[in-house]
Amino acid sequence: MTEFRDADLQGSVLDRVDLGGARLRDVSLAGARFHSVDLNGVVMRGVELVDVSIDGEIENLTINGVDVGPLIEAELDRRDPDRAKMRPTDPAGFREAWDVVERLWEETLARARALPPELLHEQVEGEWSFVETLRHLAFATDAWIRRAVLGDPSPWDPLDLPWDGMPDCAEVPRDRAVRPSLDTVTLLRRGRMGTVRELVDGLTEASLAADTEPVEGPGWPQPRSYPVRQCLRIVLNEEWCHRLYAERDLAVLEARRP
């Protein structure tokens, strides 16, 4: 195993690197940037966390003896009551949740349309552009609804955009260079959102409690059975979180507007 002692590694770039089980002692990470980093099971002692921003899935995070996860969840729900609706338990709840998703995205799209089209292809601090975000959500619907739930082994559109860490798969498009217009991507999105609307409108207690039939063939998700409830929850989470990211970055882009 490689050891670094008394080394100056400032500005180093670690991309697709496995540091599982690593030991860091007397290490400065001041100003470091972490993106798509797996920190499950990490133990930190004697750390200094000042002016730190963390966005992600937080569960069972204990700071100074306090599990802060429930506190964060409660505060986020307090700030936005619609957020709690993204955890539905019955068919009516899923329909209400999708109502919220449709309403909020219409507001976000209206905000995006007020910007010059070229800004919608700009990335903010390395995150997806607005157009790329919509392409990724089309992929999420294709993967978890059209493939996993509805059984289409190859539901992909050429504009679909998987997450960056997904292993390459010849059957799944991943064109990072294409720059479709907002209208083109919105048309794709509306079709995919309509598929989800049709599914949730037809949900029953029995269909919601069912498991999917495994879909054979390469692609994502892997060809096995999944609870329908889980597939829908994944899509809701994708829609909710990526809209928040989009709103955050639109504020930056608005400041850049000529």
Give CA torsion, residues 93, 95, 130, 155, to 10 deg.
Answer: 120
Tens-place pLDDT, residues 218-231: 899 999 999 999 99
Q: In the chain, what is the straight-line distance between the N-terminal and C-terminal CA atoms, in Å?
A: 52
**What pLDDT is recorded for position 53?**
86
Residues 6+ apart with CB under 8 A from 86: 97, 100, 236, 237, 240
Tens-place pLDDT, residues 94-147: 999 999 999 999 999 999 999 999 999 999 988 999 999 999 999 999 999 999
The tens place of each residue's pLDDT in the chain, 258 residues long, gives: 778 888 888 888 888 788 888 888 888 888 888 877 888 888 888 888 889 888 888 888 999 999 999 999 999 999 999 999 999 999 999 999 999 999 999 999 999 999 999 999 999 988 999 999 999 999 999 999 999 999 999 999 999 999 988 888 888 999 999 999 999 999 999 999 999 999 999 999 999 999 999 998 889 999 999 999 999 999 999 999 999 999 999 999 999 887
**What pLDDT is recorded for position 146?**
98
**What pLDDT is recorded for position 185?**
98
How far, in Å, CA of 203 to CA of 88, rounded? Answer: 13
Residue from 238, 117, 125 nearest 179 by CA: 117
CA distances from 148 to 19, 197, 232 (A): 32, 16, 10
How far, in Å, CA of 209 to CA of 231, rounded? Answer: 11
**What pLDDT is recorded for position 217?**
87
| Global confidence as pTM | 0.86
